[in-house]
Amino acid sequence: MPAIDLAKAPQPASTNPAQIRNFCIIAHIDHGKSTLADRMLGITEVVEQRNMRAQYLDRMDIERERGITIKSQAVRLPWRSGIDGQEYILNMIDTPGHVDFTYEVSRSLAACEGAVLLVDCAQGIEAQTLANLYLAMENNLTIIPVLNKIDLPAAQPEKFAEELAKLIGCQPEDCLRVSGKTGEGVTELLDQIVKQIPAPVGDANAPARALIFDSVYDTYRGVVTYVRVVDGHLSTRDQIQMFSTGVRHEMLEVGVISPEPVVSKGLGVGEVGYVITGVKDVRQSRVGDTITTYHNPTTKALAGYKDPKPMVFSGLFPLDGAEYPMLREALDKLQLNDAALVYEPETSAALGFGFRCGFLGLLHMEIVRERLEREAGLSLISTAPSVVYRVVRGDGKELIVTNPSEFPNEKIEAVFEPIVRATVLAPSEFIGAIMELCQERRGALLGMDYLSEDRVEIRYTLPLAEIVFDFFDQLKSKTRGYASLDYEPIGEAEGDLVKVDILLQSEGVDAFSAIVHKDKAYAYGVMMTTKLRELIPRQQFEVPIQAAIGSRIIARESIRAIRKDVLAKCYGGDISRKRKLLEKQKEGKKRMKMVGRVEVPQEAFIAALTTDADVDKAKAKAKG
């Protein structure tokens, strides 16, 4: 067996860089990354057979259930090459698989010399994988193309080998073929990682420089920071310093993950491991920052540090107003582990007290919401997601708007909105449908390329606001689930945008206001007023529902006053039944929100803020 005795394997802090290979796996959700990683843990024998469990490295329930990795990890795998018989240390750096986390992905990639491009050979490459592949190529990583799931009956390795070869400029036969499930080809893959990926290069005698590629909050240990040492050496004796802030920390512990934490004396050039400093908040130990030592600090930071910038904003409100303090507590706790999450208190006349939250993207938003609901047991209502608008007022002053209710009512000079470059990969039969959708969403075609005979890559610029509003669901439904999407921000553009307010009995309902393109204002107004007419029960008086831009009414509906609210019969056996119904209705009445004099059931808010696609998703979940 090529596996080696762990006790005799090269030890951290004393491993020759020439024996180290740092790599990551780039793959789409469902393409089998976790299964392949499990297989590698087994084959290298760092996890004993009896301790093995599926998706070993995915720590959070959500990760396991959704099959996606939110936070990255790094595992140290000793390996004896079957080619030269030498001992090596492979550091497998897991990368988050989603567009929202592109920046984190880029830092993970920066910690590696090579990448395994893993593609399900029954499905072909997906847009996000392609985006991450391009990122890896920009970072000059050595790419090892691998076709996974060759055991599947629907596998088409020849077809997708062609596609991969074309993308990375190699020969189709250079693509390795593996099955994470059966283990076929995995040993050869480990050998090829050793053979093809260059060893790390660094100056062992220079001041220490280590790249933070992940930072995780642990309840017991505080923040655990994952690093790749580029130059010099980190040891437990050092005091370390964050380059961006200059803040100094005690080093409490250094170690490697294999795949459970193993304490070591230190980490040397090219090594990957973790450090613990007693810091309690991941924002003090940020991804992309450079760690150096206090006594011998470097003067040159590693390139590429960025502050994460929220792109999508939404209001989160507890269904039960009494849960507001719990929501605050849960957000505080989540932020310890999520440097990209920002929030501030928000008061909505309709929804009560809550928080305006900023997210990296839609998935990030969904994950945060799901974690709040699951881990803190909260029931939440979220307002429609919004992007960041730059509004130039009539007086020339600028205003950043992340909440439609902050959009000025008076005359404005110009509004700028974020623009993204979107890439869609799909079977060519859907080109028409995709272009139609993108045009409808104010897209501008950038170009189109055939990846293979029947698969295309279509590139568009689109306003981010259009993507944020159920674009992905529409894309999936118009392409029977085959299309994949990736996007990156490329700046801003002036848009002909207006704020549409929704009024009940002439009172604005802040939760329903939206910033939309002028051409779509009418459609939005009609959609919301019609929806609300159906959702809001009839009241004692007539309730006009209006959509307005400023003081101009663009759509109008009306809920007629109720005339009959009585059950005709009430005899012996009906009495208990009717009383119980009454108790239920009383409960329902308590949960009503008042907009002026209008009683609006909470369900109406939820339904009005929910797109049809959300409803379908919820149904699918319920079916389970």
Binding site for other proteins (CB under 8 A): 540, 560, 562-573, 575-576, 578-579, 582-583, 585-586, 589-590
CB of 596 to other proteins, least distance (A): 13
Burial profile 519-544: b = 16 or more Cβ within 10 angstroms, e = fewer:
ebbeebbeebbebbbebbbebeeebe
E strand segments, 409-560: 412-427, 444-452, 455-463, 484-494, 497-504, 507-508, 514-517, 543-549, 552-559
**Would strands 455-463 and 484-494 be described as parallel, antiparallel, or unpaired?**
unpaired
CB of 541 to other proteins, least distance (A): 8
* SS (HEC) of 415-427: EEEEEEEEEEEEE
Kindly compute the dihedral angle of the four CA atoms of residues 577, 579, 584, 585, in this order, to the nearest 10 degrees: 120
CB of 599 to other proteins, least distance (A): 11
CB of 566 to other proteins, least distance (A): 4
**Residue closer to other proteins (CB basis): 400 or 568:** 568
CB of 539 to other proteins, least distance (A): 10
CB of 531 to other proteins, least distance (A): 20
Q: Which amino acid is at 313?
A: F
Q: How far is CA 488 from the centre of its chain?
A: 13
Q: What is the DSSP string of 65-99?
A: HHT--SS--EEEEEEE-TTT--EEEEEEE----SG
**Residue closer to other proteins (CB basis): 446 or 575:** 575
**Residue closer to other proteins (CB basis): 586 or 621:** 586
Encoded tokens for 86: 């030498």
Query: CB–CB of 462/508 below 8 Å?
Result: no
Cα gap 341→428, rounded to integer Å: 38
Q: Which amino acid is at 370?
A: E
CB of 536 to other proteins, least distance (A): 15
**Residue closer to other proteins (CB basis): 552 or 563:** 563
Residue whose tokens read 């568009």 = 460
Q: How far is CA 476 from the centre of its chain?
A: 18
CB of 542 to other proteins, least distance (A): 12
Cα gap 575→485, rounded to integer Å: 57
**Residue closer to other proteins (CB basis): 8 or 586:** 586
Cα gap 57→66, rounded to integer Å: 14
Cα gap 9→467, rounded to integer Å: 50
Cα gap 328→340, rounded to integer Å: 16
DSSP state letter for 173? G
CB of 581 to other proteins, least distance (A): 9
Q: Is the peptide bond before 325 cis (omega within 30 degrees of 0)?
A: no
**Residue closer to other proteins (CB basis): 53 or 569:** 569
CB of 582 to other proteins, least distance (A): 6
Q: How far is CA 151 from the centre of its chain?
A: 30
DSSP state letter for 282? G
CB of 574 to other proteins, least distance (A): 9
Cα gap 380→602, rounded to integer Å: 11
CB of 381 to other proteins, least distance (A): 23
**Residue closer to other proteins (CB basis): 246 or 573:** 573
**Residue closer to other proteins (CB basis): 245 or 540:** 540
**Residue closer to other proteins (CB basis): 154 or 568:** 568
DSSP β-bridge partners for residue 455: 427, 452
Residue whose tokens read 């039944």 = 577
Cα gap 177→185, rounded to integer Å: 6
**Residue closer to other proteins (CB basis): 506 or 585:** 585
**Residue closer to other proteins (CB basis): 395 or 565:** 565
In terms of DSSP H, where are the helices of 255-338? 324-335
* Of 608, 583, 586, 584, the residue nearest 595 (C-alpha): 608
CB of 565 to other proteins, least distance (A): 4
Query: CB–CB of 356/511 below 8 Å?
Result: no
CB of 556 to other proteins, least distance (A): 20
Q: Can you state the angle between helices 431-440 and 471-478, rounded to 10 degrees?
A: 160
Expressed in angstroms, the distance from the first to the final Cα of the chain is 42
CB of 414 to other proteins, least distance (A): 47
